[in-house]
Structure 1
Amino acid sequence: MSEQDRVRWDARYAASPSGPESGPPPVFASHVAEFPVAGAALDIACGQGAGSIWLAQHGLDVLGVDVSPVAIATARAWALQLGVADRCRFDVVDLDDGLPAGPPLDVILCHRFRDARLDRALVDRLAPGGLLAISVLSEVGGVPGPFRARPGELTASFADLEVIAAGEGDGEAWLVAKVANSQAS
């Protein structure tokens, strides 16, 4: 990501700290029962950490990554304030360099971030039975753009996973899917 983009995201997060919060992204709220209550999770482009903190409160050990040092500092403070700092680690990561290295994961959460170059790495990083929850801006009910999914893109990109639920419309596409227990990661 360019330095200009990083500065833009830092400014955006500095202007909008609303206080400690957590919870699943609204698009996944009706699928909370699908999320495991133990294991390891990665929150991609975690912003100020609401999803990461929710996953930690749900019982997972979480690494949240974002390109913005401002967002990561806020996420760390909120995790501490909400009593889950021992279950949440936050790192500044430029995803243009790929996913951070690490062991297989039980959950990957990716809300409002799209880089199709990471699709294979996301699948490969999931443990058998691992869950991918991804939502992105979409051309369906929205306008075309470089960071918007085309119609059917998420289900096609993650076709080797077992789809639990998926949808697209109103400018958003989303998918909840898992690796078959017998499938190697």
Structure 2
Amino acid sequence: MSIPQITDPAEFWEDRYRSDARVWSGNPNPLLVREAVGLAPGTALDLGCGEGGDVLWLAARGWRVTGVDISATALERAAAHAAEAGFADRVAFERHELGVTFPQGGFDLVSAQFLQSPVALDQDGVLKRAAGAVAPGGTLLIGMHGGWPTWMEKHEHPFDADFPTLQGVLTALDLPDTWRVDTLEAVERPSPSPEGKPGTRADNVWRLTRTV
């Protein structure tokens, strides 16, 4: 993703999805799979759901899922994929510019996977509201890129990025002692270049439980 020419978040992401028939693979995010596979199904909120890969994975495992995105095009595709998979009765989609509006209600799982943007996003504020949407006994699951891929030279970085640290996100969340940290980990994963040049990328994952 290159330096954005469009700076309005809604316009930027709508343009991004309209520019390609399919932006993402349709597969669930691996950190979600790793951390949520053992959780008992309930209600889930997927922030920044895109074309619905994570929503479908959760719905297939018995969750009732609300997917949220800023792009109407992304949400239309996600709803179509859910209907094709036979999950229309257990998923719902809402359009929000997170940081401006936020879904109502409490959820057993709130997932924010790679909620990172080259245009304006109140990331800390959104994650605090995400924590506030977790029901007692529920889980907040966050996945973030921790840096650029190793194959990318500094002069190749498409834009300046401030990658969140493990402790930095915990500090920003400022959670009370009624929360438990279950996973706080940096994960190195394969990340080849578009041309196939080998490399890795560091991702950070937080899984936190609201105990009461």
C-alpha contact (below 8 Å) 2:110/2:131 kept by paired residues: no
Given that 1:19 and 1:78 are in contact with CA atoms closer than 8 Å, whether structure 2 keeps it comes out as no
Q: Structure 2 length as normaliser, TM-score? A: 0.72
- 1:43–1:52 contact (8 Å) kept in structure 2: yes
In structure 2, relative to structure 1, the CA distance for the partners of 1:28 and 1:101 (3 Å cut) is closer
Alpha-carbon deviations, 1:108-151, whole Å to 9, x = none?
011110510123322221111101111123259888624x3135
Q: Does 1:67 align with 2:70?
A: yes
CA RMSD of aligned residues (A): 2.7
2:115 counterpart (113, 116, 121)? 113
1:145 aligns with 2:161: yes
Structure 1's 62 and 28: CA in aligned 2 closer, same or farther, altered over 3 A?
closer
Whether the 8 Å contact between 1:98 and 1:118 is mirrored in structure 2 is no
Structure 1 141/93 Cα, relative in aligned 2: closer, same or farther at 3 Å?
same
TM-score normalised per structure 1: 0.81
Among 16, 20, 23, the residue aligned to 1:12: 16
Partner Cα distance (2:51, 2:31) in 1: 18
CA contact (8 A) 1:20 1:81 kept: no
C-alpha distance after superposition, 1:94-117 (max 9, x if no partner): 112142222x21010111105101
- Unaligned stretches of 5+ residues in structure 2: 1-5, 117-122, 151-156, 188-200
Match in the other structure for 1:173: 204
Q: 1:154 to 1:12 in 2, by over 3 A?
A: same
2:40 is aligned, of 23, 36, 44, to 36
Q: Residue 21 of structure 1 contacts residue 78 of structure 1 at CA under 8 Å; is this kept in 2?
A: no
4+ residue runs of structure 1 moved beyond 4 angstroms? 139-144
**Other-structure match for 2:58:** 55
2:64–2:91 Cα contact (<8 Å) kept:
yes
The separation in 2 between residues aligned to 1:85 and 1:22, in whole angstroms, is: 18
Pick the aligned partner of 1:21 from 26, 32, 40. Answer: 26
TM-aligned CA deviation for residue 91 of structure 1: 1.5
1:92 and 1:85 map into 2 onto residues whose CA distance is: 17
Tell me how far apart the structure 2 counterparts of residues 18 and 118 of structure 1 sit (CA, whole Å). Answer: 23
Indicate the residue corresponding to 2:154 in structure 1. Answer: none
Structure 1 residues 4 and 176: alpha-carbon distance in aligned structure 2, compared to 1, 3 A threshold: same
SS in 2 for 1:149: coil
**2:170: which partner in 1?**
155
Instruction: For 2:169 and 2:46, locate their aligned partners in 1 and report how far apart those are by CA, in whole Å.
Output: 18
- Matched pairs, number: 176
1:56-95 → structure 2 map (5 Å cutoff): 56-95=59-98
| Shift, 1:46, TM fit | 0.6
Consecutive unaligned residues of structure 1, counting only runs of 5 or more, are none
Distance in 1, matches of 2:38 and 2:209, equals 9
> How big is the shift at 1:55?
1.3
CA contact (8 A) 1:154 1:173 kept: no
SS in 1 for 2:59: helix
